[in-house]
A = this chain, B = another copy of it.
Amino acid sequence: MDHIAPLSVDDDELALLTDLYQLTMTQAYWKEAMTAPATFSLFFRRLPPERRFMLACGQQHAAERVSRLRFTDRALRRLAEVDHLEPAFLDWLADWRFEGDIWTLPEGTPVFANEPLLEVDAPIAQAQLLESLIMNLVQLETVLASKAVRMVMAARGRPVVDFGLRRMHGVDAAVRGVRAYRAAGLAGTSNVLGGLRHGLALNGTMAHSYVLAHDSEREAFRAFARHYPGTTLLVDTHDTLEGVKTVITLMREEAGLEIGAIRLDSGDLGELARGARALLDAAGHTDVKIVASSGLDEHAIEALIADGAPIDAFGVGTRMGVAADAPVIDLSYKLVEYAGQPKVKRSPGKINLPGRKQVYRRHDAHGGFSGDVIAGRDEHVDEATSLLHPCVVRGETVPEAMASADAARERVTRDLERLPAALRVLAPGDGDYPVTLSEHLARRAGEAP
Protein backbone atom coordinates (compact mmCIF):
# COMPACT_ATOMS: atom_id res chain seq x y z
CA MET A 1 0.00 0.00 0.00
CA ASP A 2 2.80 2.34 0.89
CA HIS A 3 4.40 2.82 -2.48
CA ILE A 4 1.19 4.03 -4.10
CA ALA A 5 0.52 6.72 -1.52
CA PRO A 6 -0.72 9.90 -3.20
CA LEU A 7 1.65 12.76 -3.89
CA SER A 8 -0.95 15.34 -3.15
CA VAL A 9 -2.40 16.86 -0.03
CA ASP A 10 -6.02 17.63 -0.74
CA ASP A 11 -7.93 20.39 0.94
CA ASP A 12 -9.79 17.83 3.00
CA GLU A 13 -6.50 16.55 4.45
CA LEU A 14 -4.94 19.92 5.04
CA ALA A 15 -6.06 20.10 8.66
CA LEU A 16 -3.87 17.03 9.28
CA LEU A 17 -0.80 18.90 8.08
CA THR A 18 0.12 19.74 11.62
CA ASP A 19 2.45 18.57 14.34
CA LEU A 20 0.84 16.21 16.78
CA TYR A 21 1.43 18.56 19.69
CA GLN A 22 -0.90 21.16 18.20
CA LEU A 23 -3.74 18.64 18.44
CA THR A 24 -2.65 17.47 21.87
CA MET A 25 -2.50 21.03 23.21
CA THR A 26 -5.76 21.97 21.53
CA GLN A 27 -7.50 19.02 23.16
CA ALA A 28 -6.04 20.20 26.48
CA TYR A 29 -7.38 23.74 25.92
CA TRP A 30 -10.74 22.21 25.08
CA LYS A 31 -10.73 20.06 28.22
CA GLU A 32 -9.76 23.06 30.31
CA ALA A 33 -12.35 25.30 28.62
CA MET A 34 -9.61 27.77 27.76
CA THR A 35 -11.37 29.92 25.22
CA ALA A 36 -9.78 33.31 25.77
CA PRO A 37 -8.42 35.18 22.78
CA ALA A 38 -4.77 34.73 21.92
CA THR A 39 -2.41 36.40 19.49
CA PHE A 40 0.38 34.47 17.82
CA SER A 41 3.05 36.30 15.85
CA LEU A 42 5.07 34.92 12.91
CA PHE A 43 8.56 36.40 12.57
CA PHE A 44 12.20 35.45 12.18
CA ARG A 45 14.92 36.38 14.62
CA ARG A 46 17.78 37.11 12.28
CA LEU A 47 18.56 37.43 8.61
CA PRO A 48 20.65 34.66 7.04
CA PRO A 49 24.33 35.67 6.93
CA GLU A 50 24.45 36.81 3.29
CA ARG A 51 21.10 38.56 3.32
CA ARG A 52 20.16 42.18 3.86
CA PHE A 53 16.38 41.66 3.65
CA MET A 54 13.84 38.95 2.93
CA LEU A 55 10.69 39.16 0.83
CA ALA A 56 7.65 38.13 2.86
CA CYS A 57 5.71 35.76 0.62
CA GLY A 58 3.00 33.21 1.19
CA GLN A 59 1.49 34.74 4.32
CA GLN A 60 -1.70 35.86 2.58
CA HIS A 61 -1.98 32.53 0.78
CA ALA A 62 -1.62 30.77 4.12
CA ALA A 63 -4.23 33.04 5.69
CA GLU A 64 -6.68 32.27 2.93
CA ARG A 65 -6.25 28.52 3.42
CA VAL A 66 -6.76 28.95 7.15
CA SER A 67 -10.07 30.70 6.57
CA ARG A 68 -11.27 27.61 4.74
CA LEU A 69 -9.71 24.96 6.94
CA ARG A 70 -12.07 22.19 8.09
CA PHE A 71 -11.74 18.81 9.74
CA THR A 72 -13.62 16.70 7.23
CA ASP A 73 -15.04 13.28 7.98
CA ARG A 74 -12.10 11.76 6.14
CA ALA A 75 -9.61 13.67 8.27
CA LEU A 76 -11.45 12.80 11.47
CA ARG A 77 -11.46 9.12 10.60
CA ARG A 78 -7.68 9.29 10.29
CA LEU A 79 -7.37 11.13 13.61
CA ALA A 80 -9.41 8.42 15.32
CA GLU A 81 -6.26 6.28 14.89
CA VAL A 82 -4.39 8.54 17.31
CA ASP A 83 -4.71 7.00 20.77
CA HIS A 84 -4.93 9.99 23.03
CA LEU A 85 -7.42 12.01 20.98
CA GLU A 86 -10.88 11.49 22.44
CA PRO A 87 -14.07 10.93 20.45
CA ALA A 88 -15.75 13.95 22.04
CA PHE A 89 -12.81 16.12 21.03
CA LEU A 90 -13.00 14.82 17.46
CA ASP A 91 -16.69 15.73 17.46
CA TRP A 92 -15.70 19.22 18.53
CA LEU A 93 -13.12 19.36 15.73
CA ALA A 94 -15.84 18.51 13.23
CA ASP A 95 -17.32 21.93 13.98
CA TRP A 96 -13.98 23.69 14.23
CA ARG A 97 -13.81 26.87 12.16
CA PHE A 98 -11.31 29.64 12.17
CA GLU A 99 -13.29 32.60 13.43
CA GLY A 100 -10.47 35.01 14.17
CA ASP A 101 -8.53 37.74 12.39
CA ILE A 102 -5.25 37.44 10.53
CA TRP A 103 -3.07 40.48 9.91
CA THR A 104 -0.43 40.13 7.22
CA LEU A 105 2.21 42.04 5.33
CA PRO A 106 1.22 42.29 1.67
CA GLU A 107 2.80 39.60 -0.50
CA GLY A 108 6.27 40.63 -1.59
CA THR A 109 7.03 43.10 1.20
CA PRO A 110 10.72 43.43 2.16
CA VAL A 111 10.92 42.34 5.79
CA PHE A 112 13.58 42.40 8.49
CA ALA A 113 14.38 40.54 11.70
CA ASN A 114 11.72 40.57 14.44
CA GLU A 115 9.03 42.13 12.22
CA PRO A 116 5.81 40.10 12.14
CA LEU A 117 4.98 38.73 8.70
CA LEU A 118 1.62 37.69 10.09
CA GLU A 119 -0.33 37.82 13.34
CA VAL A 120 -3.29 35.64 14.25
CA ASP A 121 -5.91 36.88 16.75
CA ALA A 122 -8.28 34.08 17.72
CA PRO A 123 -9.40 31.89 20.60
CA ILE A 124 -6.31 29.95 21.62
CA ALA A 125 -7.73 26.61 20.50
CA GLN A 126 -8.03 28.06 17.00
CA ALA A 127 -4.79 29.99 16.79
CA GLN A 128 -2.62 27.24 18.29
CA LEU A 129 -3.69 24.66 15.72
CA LEU A 130 -2.33 26.71 12.82
CA GLU A 131 1.32 26.92 13.82
CA SER A 132 2.89 24.16 11.73
CA LEU A 133 0.68 24.70 8.68
CA ILE A 134 1.30 28.45 8.51
CA MET A 135 5.03 28.05 9.09
CA ASN A 136 5.44 25.40 6.41
CA LEU A 137 3.46 27.40 3.85
CA VAL A 138 5.08 30.77 4.51
CA GLN A 139 8.60 29.44 4.89
CA LEU A 140 8.65 27.94 1.38
CA GLU A 141 7.47 30.98 -0.54
CA THR A 142 9.49 33.41 1.55
CA VAL A 143 12.70 31.42 1.20
CA LEU A 144 12.29 30.95 -2.55
CA ALA A 145 11.17 34.48 -3.41
CA SER A 146 13.95 35.95 -1.28
CA LYS A 147 16.55 33.87 -3.10
CA ALA A 148 15.10 34.49 -6.55
CA VAL A 149 15.04 38.26 -6.19
CA ARG A 150 18.81 38.14 -5.76
CA MET A 151 19.10 36.63 -9.25
CA VAL A 152 16.93 39.42 -10.56
CA MET A 153 19.10 42.05 -8.87
CA ALA A 154 22.28 40.41 -10.15
CA ALA A 155 21.00 40.15 -13.74
CA ARG A 156 20.37 43.92 -13.97
CA GLY A 157 17.41 43.76 -16.27
CA ARG A 158 18.36 40.64 -18.20
CA PRO A 159 15.70 37.94 -18.00
CA VAL A 160 16.19 35.14 -15.47
CA VAL A 161 14.34 31.86 -15.98
CA ASP A 162 13.67 29.10 -13.44
CA PHE A 163 15.10 25.71 -14.43
CA GLY A 164 14.82 24.22 -10.93
CA LEU A 165 11.99 21.66 -11.05
CA ARG A 166 14.25 18.62 -11.05
CA ARG A 167 16.31 19.68 -8.04
CA MET A 168 13.72 21.32 -5.82
CA HIS A 169 12.40 19.54 -2.74
CA GLY A 170 9.40 17.71 -4.08
CA VAL A 171 6.34 18.56 -6.04
CA ASP A 172 4.85 21.32 -3.90
CA ALA A 173 8.15 23.20 -3.68
CA ALA A 174 8.58 23.07 -7.45
CA VAL A 175 5.03 24.11 -8.32
CA ARG A 176 4.34 26.63 -5.57
CA GLY A 177 7.86 27.90 -6.00
CA VAL A 178 6.82 29.29 -9.36
CA ARG A 179 4.34 31.56 -7.61
CA ALA A 180 7.16 32.91 -5.45
CA TYR A 181 9.33 33.30 -8.54
CA ARG A 182 6.65 35.26 -10.31
CA ALA A 183 6.43 37.65 -7.37
CA ALA A 184 10.22 37.96 -7.25
CA GLY A 185 10.37 39.05 -10.89
CA LEU A 186 11.63 36.03 -12.82
CA ALA A 187 10.85 36.17 -16.53
CA GLY A 188 9.81 32.57 -16.98
CA THR A 189 10.00 28.96 -15.88
CA SER A 190 10.67 25.62 -17.50
CA ASN A 191 8.14 24.02 -15.12
CA VAL A 192 4.99 23.37 -17.15
CA LEU A 193 2.51 22.83 -14.34
CA GLY A 194 4.02 25.60 -12.23
CA GLY A 195 3.95 28.09 -15.08
CA LEU A 196 0.41 27.24 -16.18
CA ARG A 197 -0.94 27.25 -12.65
CA HIS A 198 0.72 30.44 -11.49
CA GLY A 199 0.78 32.45 -14.69
CA LEU A 200 4.49 32.62 -15.46
CA ALA A 201 5.74 32.30 -19.04
CA LEU A 202 7.04 28.88 -20.06
CA ASN A 203 10.56 28.56 -21.43
CA GLY A 204 12.57 25.65 -22.66
CA THR A 205 14.54 24.37 -25.56
CA MET A 206 16.41 21.09 -25.94
CA ALA A 207 18.62 18.75 -23.93
CA HIS A 208 21.87 17.05 -24.88
CA SER A 209 19.92 13.83 -25.37
CA TYR A 210 18.17 15.32 -28.42
CA VAL A 211 21.51 16.06 -30.02
CA LEU A 212 22.90 12.63 -29.14
CA ALA A 213 19.85 10.84 -30.54
CA HIS A 214 20.54 12.32 -33.99
CA ASP A 215 23.28 11.29 -36.38
CA SER A 216 25.04 14.59 -35.87
CA GLU A 217 24.68 17.85 -34.01
CA ARG A 218 24.01 19.50 -37.36
CA GLU A 219 21.12 17.17 -38.13
CA ALA A 220 19.71 17.74 -34.68
CA PHE A 221 19.94 21.54 -35.01
CA ARG A 222 18.44 21.52 -38.49
CA ALA A 223 15.49 19.36 -37.47
CA PHE A 224 14.79 21.35 -34.31
CA ALA A 225 15.03 24.76 -35.98
CA ARG A 226 12.70 23.61 -38.75
CA HIS A 227 10.15 22.46 -36.18
CA TYR A 228 10.48 25.54 -34.02
CA PRO A 229 11.36 28.74 -35.88
CA GLY A 230 13.10 31.21 -33.59
CA THR A 231 14.12 28.49 -31.14
CA THR A 232 17.15 28.27 -28.87
CA LEU A 233 19.78 25.66 -29.72
CA LEU A 234 21.95 24.00 -27.07
CA VAL A 235 25.47 24.19 -28.48
CA ASP A 236 27.71 22.49 -25.90
CA THR A 237 27.02 18.78 -26.42
CA HIS A 238 30.43 18.19 -28.00
CA ASP A 239 32.39 21.46 -28.24
CA THR A 240 30.70 24.78 -27.63
CA LEU A 241 32.39 26.97 -30.21
CA GLU A 242 32.24 24.20 -32.81
CA GLY A 243 28.55 24.02 -32.01
CA VAL A 244 28.22 27.74 -32.64
CA LYS A 245 30.00 27.34 -35.98
CA THR A 246 27.57 24.57 -36.88
CA VAL A 247 24.68 26.94 -36.15
CA ILE A 248 26.25 29.60 -38.36
CA THR A 249 26.87 27.11 -41.18
CA LEU A 250 23.28 25.93 -40.97
CA MET A 251 21.94 29.47 -41.21
CA ARG A 252 24.15 30.09 -44.23
CA GLU A 253 23.10 26.88 -45.96
CA GLU A 254 19.41 27.13 -45.27
CA ALA A 255 18.02 30.58 -45.89
CA GLY A 256 14.97 31.27 -43.80
CA LEU A 257 16.03 29.04 -40.92
CA GLU A 258 15.24 31.19 -37.89
CA ILE A 259 17.38 30.67 -34.82
CA GLY A 260 16.58 32.95 -31.92
CA ALA A 261 19.33 32.07 -29.50
CA ILE A 262 21.99 29.63 -28.49
CA ARG A 263 22.38 28.17 -25.02
CA LEU A 264 25.68 27.52 -23.24
CA ASP A 265 25.40 24.91 -20.49
CA SER A 266 28.97 24.06 -19.45
CA GLY A 267 32.51 25.37 -19.33
CA ASP A 268 33.70 28.92 -18.74
CA LEU A 269 30.48 30.70 -19.58
CA GLY A 270 32.03 34.18 -19.85
CA GLU A 271 34.82 33.07 -22.12
CA LEU A 272 32.49 30.95 -24.26
CA ALA A 273 29.90 33.72 -24.48
CA ARG A 274 32.55 36.11 -25.78
CA GLY A 275 33.76 33.53 -28.28
CA ALA A 276 30.24 32.71 -29.41
CA ARG A 277 29.27 36.39 -29.69
CA ALA A 278 32.34 37.10 -31.81
CA LEU A 279 31.58 34.20 -34.15
CA LEU A 280 27.92 35.14 -34.47
CA ASP A 281 28.62 38.85 -35.00
CA ALA A 282 31.33 38.14 -37.57
CA ALA A 283 28.75 36.12 -39.51
CA GLY A 284 26.26 38.97 -39.28
CA HIS A 285 24.02 37.28 -36.69
CA THR A 286 24.01 40.10 -34.18
CA ASP A 287 20.36 39.30 -33.47
CA VAL A 288 20.99 35.75 -32.24
CA LYS A 289 20.95 35.90 -28.46
CA ILE A 290 23.03 33.99 -25.94
CA VAL A 291 21.44 32.18 -23.01
CA ALA A 292 23.61 30.74 -20.24
CA SER A 293 22.90 28.07 -17.64
CA SER A 294 24.94 25.59 -15.57
CA GLY A 295 25.21 25.88 -11.82
CA LEU A 296 24.47 29.60 -11.76
CA ASP A 297 23.60 31.63 -8.73
CA GLU A 298 23.45 35.36 -8.02
CA HIS A 299 27.19 35.62 -7.46
CA ALA A 300 28.02 33.84 -10.70
CA ILE A 301 25.57 36.06 -12.59
CA GLU A 302 27.01 39.20 -11.01
CA ALA A 303 30.55 38.11 -11.85
CA LEU A 304 29.66 37.32 -15.47
CA ILE A 305 28.03 40.70 -15.94
CA ALA A 306 30.84 42.55 -14.18
CA ASP A 307 33.22 40.77 -16.51
CA GLY A 308 31.25 42.02 -19.53
CA ALA A 309 30.08 38.58 -20.67
CA PRO A 310 27.68 39.09 -23.60
CA ILE A 311 24.93 36.94 -22.09
CA ASP A 312 21.34 37.98 -22.77
CA ALA A 313 19.44 35.71 -20.39
CA PHE A 314 20.15 33.31 -17.54
CA GLY A 315 18.64 29.92 -16.70
CA VAL A 316 18.99 29.16 -13.00
CA GLY A 317 18.21 25.86 -11.35
CA THR A 318 19.70 24.07 -8.41
CA ARG A 319 21.16 26.79 -6.23
CA MET A 320 18.10 29.01 -6.54
CA GLY A 321 15.71 26.07 -6.21
CA VAL A 322 16.94 25.04 -2.77
CA ALA A 323 18.03 28.57 -1.76
CA ALA A 324 21.44 27.02 -1.27
CA ASP A 325 22.94 29.69 1.00
CA ALA A 326 19.86 29.89 3.23
CA PRO A 327 17.48 26.96 2.71
CA VAL A 328 15.63 27.91 5.89
CA ILE A 329 14.90 31.00 7.87
CA ASP A 330 14.34 30.57 11.59
CA LEU A 331 10.67 31.47 11.47
CA SER A 332 8.86 31.37 14.81
CA TYR A 333 5.14 31.40 15.55
CA LYS A 334 4.95 32.58 19.13
CA LEU A 335 2.18 33.28 21.59
CA VAL A 336 2.48 37.01 22.36
CA GLU A 337 -0.85 37.72 24.07
CA TYR A 338 -3.43 35.66 25.94
CA ALA A 339 -6.62 36.84 27.59
CA GLY A 340 -5.55 40.43 27.09
CA GLN A 341 -2.16 39.95 28.75
CA PRO A 342 1.07 40.34 26.81
CA LYS A 343 3.11 37.14 26.94
CA VAL A 344 6.68 36.38 26.12
CA LYS A 345 9.11 33.52 26.54
CA ARG A 346 12.37 34.83 28.00
CA SER A 347 15.32 33.42 26.06
CA PRO A 348 18.89 34.47 26.78
CA GLY A 349 20.21 36.41 23.80
CA LYS A 350 16.88 36.44 21.96
CA ILE A 351 14.45 39.29 21.50
CA ASN A 352 10.84 38.32 22.08
CA LEU A 353 8.29 41.06 21.65
CA PRO A 354 5.06 40.73 23.64
CA GLY A 355 1.63 41.85 22.52
CA ARG A 356 -0.13 42.52 19.21
CA LYS A 357 2.07 44.53 16.92
CA GLN A 358 2.26 46.77 13.89
CA VAL A 359 5.20 47.53 11.62
CA TYR A 360 5.61 51.14 10.49
CA ARG A 361 7.87 52.02 7.57
CA ARG A 362 9.28 55.51 7.14
CA HIS A 363 10.09 57.15 3.84
CA ASP A 364 12.62 59.81 2.90
CA ALA A 365 11.85 62.81 0.73
CA HIS A 366 12.30 60.73 -2.44
CA GLY A 367 10.00 57.93 -1.32
CA GLY A 368 12.87 55.65 -0.30
CA PHE A 369 12.58 53.55 2.84
CA SER A 370 14.43 55.20 5.70
CA GLY A 371 13.66 52.85 8.57
CA ASP A 372 11.03 50.78 10.35
CA VAL A 373 9.44 51.02 13.78
CA ILE A 374 7.94 47.94 15.39
CA ALA A 375 5.16 49.14 17.68
CA GLY A 376 2.13 47.92 19.56
CA ARG A 377 -0.77 47.32 17.20
CA ASP A 378 -2.78 50.23 18.57
CA GLU A 379 0.05 52.73 18.60
CA HIS A 380 0.29 55.51 16.09
CA VAL A 381 3.65 56.36 14.57
CA ASP A 382 3.93 59.70 12.80
CA GLU A 383 4.94 59.99 9.19
CA ALA A 384 5.11 56.28 8.59
CA THR A 385 3.06 53.71 6.74
CA SER A 386 1.56 50.77 8.58
CA LEU A 387 2.39 47.51 6.84
CA LEU A 388 0.24 44.89 8.57
CA HIS A 389 -3.38 44.78 7.46
CA PRO A 390 -6.19 42.38 8.26
CA CYS A 391 -6.72 39.98 5.37
CA VAL A 392 -9.00 37.63 7.33
CA VAL A 393 -11.61 39.15 9.65
CA ARG A 394 -13.84 37.00 11.85
CA GLY A 395 -12.84 34.00 9.77
CA GLU A 396 -13.66 35.53 6.38
CA THR A 397 -11.11 36.70 3.86
CA VAL A 398 -11.04 40.38 2.93
CA PRO A 399 -10.72 40.17 -0.86
CA GLU A 400 -9.54 43.75 -1.30
CA ALA A 401 -6.67 43.17 1.15
CA MET A 402 -5.35 40.17 -0.77
CA ALA A 403 -2.53 41.00 -3.14
CA SER A 404 -2.96 39.55 -6.62
CA ALA A 405 0.03 37.90 -8.25
CA ASP A 406 0.53 41.00 -10.37
CA ALA A 407 0.30 43.28 -7.35
CA ALA A 408 2.89 41.21 -5.51
CA ARG A 409 5.29 41.41 -8.43
CA GLU A 410 4.73 45.15 -8.81
CA ARG A 411 5.33 45.65 -5.11
CA VAL A 412 8.61 43.79 -5.25
CA THR A 413 9.79 45.80 -8.23
CA ARG A 414 8.76 49.09 -6.65
CA ASP A 415 9.99 48.28 -3.15
CA LEU A 416 13.39 47.13 -4.39
CA GLU A 417 13.95 50.61 -5.73
CA ARG A 418 12.92 52.11 -2.42
CA LEU A 419 15.36 50.06 -0.37
CA PRO A 420 18.55 51.92 0.56
CA ALA A 421 21.23 51.27 -2.04
CA ALA A 422 23.40 49.62 0.62
CA LEU A 423 20.83 46.84 0.90
CA ARG A 424 20.60 46.21 -2.81
CA VAL A 425 23.90 44.37 -2.89
CA LEU A 426 24.46 40.64 -2.77
CA ALA A 427 27.21 40.50 -0.17
CA PRO A 428 26.87 41.17 3.52
CA GLY A 429 28.03 44.71 4.19
CA ASP A 430 27.93 47.67 6.46
CA GLY A 431 24.89 49.65 7.35
CA ASP A 432 21.96 47.58 8.49
CA TYR A 433 18.51 48.84 7.74
CA PRO A 434 17.30 50.69 10.85
CA VAL A 435 14.57 48.78 12.66
CA THR A 436 13.69 50.19 16.06
CA LEU A 437 11.09 49.49 18.70
CA SER A 438 8.57 52.10 19.76
CA GLU A 439 9.15 53.35 23.28
CA HIS A 440 5.99 51.66 24.41
CA LEU A 441 6.97 48.29 22.94
CA ALA A 442 10.52 48.52 24.25
CA ARG A 443 9.14 49.16 27.74
CA ARG A 444 6.69 46.31 27.42
CA ALA A 445 9.42 43.96 26.21
CA GLY A 446 11.31 44.75 29.40
CA GLU A 447 8.29 44.11 31.60
CA ALA A 448 6.21 41.31 30.21
CA PRO A 449 5.96 38.14 32.26
Q: Is A34 part of the binding interface, using a Cβ–Cβ cutoff of 8 Å?
A: yes
- Which B residues touch A335, using CB under 8 A? 208-209, 212-213
Report whether B198 and A31 are in contact in the complex, using a CB–CB cutoff of 8 Å: no
Q: Is A262 part of the binding interface, using a Cβ–Cβ cutoff of 8 Å?
A: no
Q: Tell me, rounded to whole Å, the shortest Cβ–Cβ distance linking A25 to chain B.
A: 5
- Which B residues touch A212, using CB under 8 A? 335, 338, 343-345
User: Interface with B: A14-22, A243-251, A365-373, A437-445, which one?
Assistant: A14-22
- Which B residues touch A176, using CB under 8 A? 5, 7, 170
Residues of A within 8 A of B (CB): 2-11, 13-14, 16-25, 27-29, 31-32, 34, 38, 40, 60-61, 64-65, 78-79, 81-82, 84, 124, 128, 131-132, 135-137, 139-140, 143, 163, 165-177, 179, 190-193, 195-199, 202-210, 212-213, 223-224, 227-228, 237-238, 266-267, 318, 321-322, 324, 327-328, 330-331, 333-335, 338, 343-348, 402-405
Report whether A139 and B166 are in contact in the complex, using a CB–CB cutoff of 8 Å: yes
Complex Cα distance A335/B209, Å?
5
Complex Cα distance A356/B425, Å?
48
When all copies of this chain in the complex are counted, the total is 2
Q: Tell me, rounded to whole Å, the shortest Cβ–Cβ distance linking A214 to chain B.
A: 8
Report whether B266 and A179 are in contact in the complex, using a CB–CB cutoff of 8 Å: no
Complex Cα distance A84/B206, Å?
14
B2, B170, B207: the one within 8 Å of A140 (CB): B170
B20, B29, B32, B128: the one within 8 Å of A204 (CB): B20
B4, B193, B202, B327: the one within 8 Å of A327 (CB): B327
